[in-house]
Amino acid sequence: MFRSVLSFFQTPEFWAAAVGAGATLAAAYWALSSALRNLANHELKRRRVACVCELIGNRHALLPSAKSESETRELFLRALNGVPAVFGDIRLVMDAHNMFLQSVQENASPEIRAQANQRMLELIRRSAAEAGVPLLYVTNDQILKSMS
């Protein structure tokens, strides 16, 4: 009896079934890991687009006439603070982010503070390009002129 059971494991049918089962498991693992990777990439892209939209949509919070406690300012600062979380792996965006932060610091020199608008444009343009937000026909003047 025991010998007949062992002989089954040496038959071509057993090995065909074992190879088929192994291939099925490998294909299922590959499909699942691919789907999870695609989901993670899609979520990161969605968050990047949302961050860019918040930066653009609330940029008027930086206008001198804006109230410092306004909800818009809070939304802009939240998006600005979120840039490293969603663009931290993209050096050009992080460089633009750091340059913009330097220009809006209270202790920044007048020369650096005068560059704040240009640096904000650079941050918006670079982050939009990386997120796939189409700003091809949006001029710098349109970005700088905001509705408040």
In tens, the pLDDT along 69-91 reads 678 888 989 999 999 999 999 99
Measure Cα distances from 79 to 2, 24, 56, 132 in Å. Answer: 69, 44, 10, 17
pLDDT exceeds 80 at position 112: no
Least confident of 21-25, 27-31, 104-108: 104-108
What stretches of the chain show up as alpha helix (H) in DSSP?
Answer: 2-8, 12-57, 71-87, 91-103, 110-113, 116-131, 140-144
pLDDT confidence of residue 51: 96
pLDDT higher than threshold 60 for residue 137: yes
Residues of the chain above pLDDT 70, percent:
89
Q: pLDDT band for 13, please (50, 70, 90 cuts).
A: confident
Cα angle for residues 55, 59, 63 (degrees, 5° grid)? 160
Kindly tell me if the per-residue pLDDT of 122 is higher than 90. Answer: yes
Distance CA 103, CA 117 (A): 9
Q: Round the average pLDDT of the chain to a whole number and report it.
A: 86
Contacts of residue 53, defined as CB under 8 A and 6 or more positions apart, other chains included, come to: 133
Tell me which range, 6-15, 65-74, 110-119, is most confidently predicted by mean pLDDT.
110-119
Query: What pTM was computed for the model?
Result: 0.74
Residue 1 confidence (pLDDT): 54
